[in-house]
Amino acid sequence: MIDEFARQLGALVTPVPRRLGLAVSGGVDSMALAFLVSKLNSQLRDSLDIHAFTVDHGVRQGSDEEASKVQKNLSQLGITSHVLKMKLEPELKTSPKFELIARNHRTRLLYDACASRQIRHLLFAHTFDDQLETFLMRLMRGSSIIGLAGMNTIGATPQLLAPCQPPLTYLRPLVGFTKTQLYDICIKNNVQWYEDHTNHDPSYAVRNGVRYLLQNPSLLPQFLQPEAVKKRLIQVQSLKQKINHRVDQVLYYLRENRLLSLDLDHSVVCLKLCREFLDLPLIAQSTLLLKPLQRIMPLSDPMYRQSSIQSALAKLGPSCETVTAANIQIHFDQKSHAYIFTRAPPYGDQKKAIRLDIPSPSILGQWSDYHLFDHRYWIRVKISDSAAAPQKISVTLDDPLKYMDLFNETLGPQDWPKSQLVAVQPLILADGVPIGYPTLGILKPMGFDVELRLKDSNGTAENSIFEDNLISLFERSKSRHKKHA
């Protein structure tokens, strides 16, 4: 079993990183993972630096005692462990969105714990049983083939990372193991684990209900029997691999011929249509486009919006030139025979919520921390003249027609982009007064500098291949490409 685990881990990352993090809840799956890592470590010439992290959600009474017991069990395996306490406001614990809130907090806690210890790889104990549960849950939601294929065995943290933050890679080396195998590992090696009774309550969460049905197949029709589901899951995963392979081929063609571009300053994606793209099935088209589009979506977790993009692409054509999906406006430009993707202009009460107040750095000439604006741009400021600097610096989105006259000295009327594109560019305010659009090269001197950077895809450099400047899209007579005041 150790050899199989080493093979699975080696297939994800080679060589095995010298420093590893483990996400350990204390249940049988994560304790089996801890045992396997510990056993593998004992066979290596140079020992690994292993840190296990247990998140105490603080929801159930006695959760702190349970976390301490998990630490004790991990110490018996020779693994250094840390308890990460989640601190949530009382009202959030009873929110109908508690699971989502808790997941986001857990993601941040694990990232911060790894980053502070220079850990770049975090292992999770998801099993093949978890994949089956995910398949059925997503089947009920009507997910696409990509979603039905389940969790990736390797990927980046879903947390959006500021430019200065190091990446964190998630590894799931146990997805080829069943829960029964992990029970056997723990029992045969006298590994202690904690059994969370809520995991067996089918009314506690949707996943619990699905798990209960899979464990009681007599309640399921023939086509949803565990063996039938396993067969379908394997078929879907194989189909996903074929789709991804074809997508990679077309993506390479688009890159080589400069047909797909991402304007980093203005948050615009352009795809010049070609037969290679149009011949792809819609599921493959949306898979390809999600790679660059996730960087301009004003969403914290855009990976779940692929079906929306797929539906929008199906509607586009001569009779429907513009559609909106996942807060992205997709325009079919017949003149250039291209799809142009931008952030959809906010409407109504949305505008009020899209505002960020940036604390001014206390030290002259020192950059502030990065702050995420509109889930698209990382922004920071630096005070260059304390006497001229405002008390309050803000960034928002607003109707550009209100402010064109204010900036016509800097940018003539003939140089302005189309109004719907300006409407989604960050507008800087000094003490509530508009002073410019940095992404358009417009910023009145007010004693401070501004830097904006389009978010990356989960902290990776995967989409840097798309970087390009699409000034021609804006129908401007000259480029005013600046990031700083």
Q: Specify the 3-state DSSP secondary structure of 209.
A: helix
Nearest in space to 483 (alpha carbons), one of 266, 160, 162, 166 = 266
Same domain, yes or no: 24 and 107? yes
pLDDT digits (tens, 9 = 90+) for 72-95: 999 999 999 999 998 878 777 677
Same domain, yes or no: 93 and 200? yes
Q: Tokens 């009779």 map to which residue?
A: 319
Same domain, yes or no: 55 and 186? yes
Which of the residue ranges 57-71, 124-138, 361-375, 406-420 would you say has the lowest mean pLDDT?
Answer: 406-420
Same domain, yes or no: 261 and 405? no
CA atoms in the 13 A half-sphere facing the CB of 405: 1
Tell me if 119 is assigned to some domain.
yes
Rounded to 10 deg, the angle between the 282-293 and 226-256 helix axes is 60
Give the total residue count for the chain: 485
Strand partners, 482: none
Q: Tokens 């430009």 map to which residue?
A: 333
Counting runs of H as helices and runs of E as strands, what totals does the chain give?
15, 19
For residues 149 and 138, what is the distance between their CA atoms, to the nearest angstrom? 9
pLDDT digits (tens, 9 = 90+) for 397-413: 987 777 766 666 555 55
For residues 250 and 148, what is the distance between their CA atoms, to the nearest angstrom? 23
Tell me if 292 is assigned to some domain.
yes
Average pLDDT of the residues of the chain = 86
Same domain, yes or no: 37 and 166? yes
Confidence of residue 422 (pLDDT cuts 50, 70, 90): confident
pLDDT (0 to 100) of residue 411: 53
Residues 6+ apart with CB under 8 A from 258: 468
Same domain, yes or no: 56 and 197? yes
pLDDT (0 to 100) of residue 465: 36
Asked if 277 and 253 touch (Cβ cutoff 8 Å), the reply is no
- Give yes or no for residue 225 having a pLDDT over 70: yes
Q: Specify the 3-state DSSP secondary structure of 166.
A: coil
Confidence of residue 302 (pLDDT cuts 50, 70, 90): low
Strand partners, 396: 355, 427
Q: How many domains does the chain have?
A: 3
Q: How far apart are the first and last CA of the chain?
A: 60
Residues 6+ apart with CB under 8 A from 119: 19, 20, 21, 51, 113, 168
> Two tokens at 230?
């396993």
For residues 67 and 81, what is the distance between their CA atoms, to the nearest angstrom? 10
Single pTM value for the model: 0.86
- Residue 136 sits in a domain of what CATH number? 3.40.50.620
What mean pLDDT is predicted for residues 415-441? Answer: 82
Confidence of residue 11 (pLDDT cuts 50, 70, 90): very high
- Give yes or no for residue 303 having a pLDDT over 70: no
Residue 320, domain extent: 237-343
Nearest in space to 287 (alpha carbons), one of 266, 261, 313, 263 = 313
What mean pLDDT is predicted for residues 199-211? Answer: 82
What mean pLDDT is predicted for residues 450-471? Answer: 57
Nearest in space to 183 (alpha carbons), one of 3, 29, 2, 75 = 29
State the burial class of residue 127 (Cβ atoms within 10 Å of its Cβ: 0-12, 13-18, 19+).
buried
- Give yes or no for residue 448 having a pLDDT over 50: yes
End position of a domain, from candidates 185, 215, 245: 215
Same domain, yes or no: 55 and 198? yes
Confidence of residue 31 (pLDDT cuts 50, 70, 90): very high
Q: What is the number of other CB atoms lying within 10 angstroms of the CB of residue 223?
A: 8
- Give yes or no for residue 357 having a pLDDT over 70: yes
